[in-house]
Chains A and B, each alone.
Chain A
Amino acid sequence: MKLLVNKLTKIFVRYFALYRSFLSHNLKNEMIYRANFAINVGMDIFFMMMNVLFFSILYGNVETVGGWTFHQTLILVGSVGIVRELAYLTFRKGFLELGNYVRTGNFDVMLTSPIAPAAHLAFRHVSLTDSLGEGLMGLLLVVYGFLHLSNASWIGIPFYLLMLVNSLVIYYALCLLINSLVFWLVKSQELNTVVYYFINTARYPREIYHGLGKIFFTFILPSSLIATTPAAILVGRANPSLVLISLSVAGGGLILGLFVWNWSLNFYSSASS
């Protein structure tokens, strides 16, 4: 047992050091293309504003949606933004590039170096700025929404952050599962469009679903958990079963995702030239 803990700690330390190394390289790279930075941030803010506009208009007509008030919904919208920025800081962009890697055969290097290919792919393209606008804007919305809550409780904040990380794990597991198909399709654009639609529907409260839809958006495409679980904690609507479901979807999804991914690697037919 102690041996296992030691081993896990060693692996964690090593991958954390690797992450730092890759991050610093990517930051240097991003510095070279500073012009893109402003454009990316601008666009992110625009789309976040459009989401807010959508809900503003909607809440101009109704009081609550699925029991969520306008300010509570802002926390939902903001949480999605934060999760997306966290994803870009850890793994998302690698998956977007995966199709190119497989098509050109450059994925070879991920299979020959002594890092887990999934981690290598993720770290190779970690990006601070690609989704920074969304992250900052998201944070702003969460804070704004939180300050307008009638029952704001500061105790929820650490649990909120924990569940954000849990949502990140769900997001990652889904990316792994869907992108495993790339080794057959040899392109990942459409696969990642699916992932995009997934994260794009995460900003609606989970309470709107029922029946088959609820099962679908919980276990197949678990977008109803991404924002709702953390936000529910912050606004004081959480119940233990929701947290439990989120935790198990994350855990189960991650194990399944890693398993499928590692199995799919064997079907990589490295393109020559």
Chain B
Amino acid sequence: MRKYWTVFQVNWQNALQYRGPTFISILGNLLHISVLLYLWNAIYLSNQSLGSYTLSDLITYYILQLIINSMVLSYISWEISDQISEGSFSNFLVKPVNYLHYWFTINLSGKLFEGLIILVVGAILSFLLIAHVSFPSSGLSLVYFIFSMILGGLLAFEFDFAIGILAFWIVKVNSFKYMLQYCIFFLAGALLPLDLFPVSFQVVANALPFRFLVFFPIQIFLEKEANPLPGFLIAMGWIVFLYFFLQFALRRGITRYEAVGK
């Protein structure tokens, strides 16, 4: 356990040293979100509306998306696939470290670090737009929301890790990974709320687990999810299933890695 705590600390140091990229990516996200806020505002000003959303709902949706992007969504697959395709993964083969747990620690520490920053940003943004932010009416919704964020974080990590270790099997994985990640974000509801999609799309998106990353937590916050408990159960099922699946896939990948030899 102690070794993972050290990894956690070292990663924080790293994050402080390389705060530039973190800061810039948050800034960029903020930029995109503000453009979208202008977009929604323009739509509602012209007396149109999107589904069952009020303007406040939408603004809240995207502020939450900004926070979720930093605290929940995972971006570690880049380094994982680099390590695998460049061969520095070998260092892990000889160490008594579980690769999945190692990256879980890195991701967790990164997300907490980014989380601290984004909460400040989100607070400022909410304060500026206070008149346009919908807060949940009950404390219970807030508890549910936080719980769903934790589940989303776990799932997001597992998906991203899966994308990362694709490098065991695919040589030029980067472009493919880009597209896969984007598809996941789209199906998670990071770009548009899923219930604005055409009905046939919605059926597909609801059947897939990606909605637990963004859409599901925000629906809870906006109190549009009447009973989140079944959702919790399904998400937890996926988390457990993916955990065992990833451990299995990792073992297969390592066998393949050793066979190819780098």
Contact = CB atoms under 8 A, between A and B. Distances in A.
Interface of A: 35, 39-40, 42-43, 46-47, 50, 53-54, 57-58, 60-67, 185, 187, 189-190, 193-194, 196-197, 200-201, 204, 207-210, 213, 217, 221
**Interface of B: prevailing SS:** helix
Nearest to A211: B38
Given A39-B172, A61-B48, A61-B196, 7 more contacts: A42-B175, A43-B175, A60-B198, A193-B21, A201-B31, A209-B38, A213-B34
Contacts of A46: 179, 182
Nearest to B23: A190
B21 A189 contact: yes
Please give me the 7 A-B residue pairs with the lowest Cβ-Cβ distance, nearest first: A208-B42, A197-B28, A190-B24, A62-B48, A43-B175, A208-B38, A201-B35
Interface in B39-80: 39, 41-43, 46, 48-51
Nearest to A223: B35
Interface in B180-195: 182, 186, 191-192
Interface of B: 20-21, 24-25, 27-28, 31-32, 34-35, 38-39, 41-43, 46, 48-51, 172, 175, 178-179, 182, 186, 191-192, 196-198, 201
B28 A213 contact: no
Contact of A58 (B20, B25, B38, B192): B192
15 contacts: A43-B178, A47-B179, A50-B186, A58-B50, A58-B196, A61-B196, A66-B42, A194-B27, A197-B31, A201-B31, A208-B38, A208-B42, A209-B38, A210-B38, A213-B38
Nearest to B197: A57
B182 A50 contact: yes
Contact of A64 (B46, B49, B51): B46
Contacts of B24: 190, 193-194
A88 B201 CA distance: 35
B39 A204 contact: yes
Contacts of A194: 24, 27-28
Contact of B43 (A62, A187, A189): A62
B42 A207 contact: yes
A54 B172 CA distance: 28
Contacts of B42: 65-66, 207-208
Contacts of B25: 193
A62 B179 contact: no
Contacts, number: 84
Contact of A60 (B27, B38, B196): B196
Contacts of B34: 213
Nearest to A64: B46
Nearest to B40: A208
A160 to B, nearest CB: 24
Contacts of B201: 57
B175 to A, nearest CB: 5
Contacts of A35: 172
A190 B21 CA distance: 6
A207 B20 CA distance: 32
A221 B35 CA distance: 12
A77 B180 CA distance: 22
B196 to A, nearest CB: 6
Contacts of B46: 64, 66-67
Contacts of A190: 20-21, 24
Contact of A197 (B32, B41, B175): B32
A64 B197 CA distance: 17
A245 B127 CA distance: 33
A47 B46 CA distance: 29
B206 to A, nearest CB: 15
Nearest to B21: A190
Nearest to B30: A197
Given A50-B182, A57-B198, A201 B21 contact: no
A47 B191 CA distance: 13
A208 B35 CA distance: 8
Contacts of B175: 39-40, 42-43
Contact of A208 (B39, B48, B178): B39
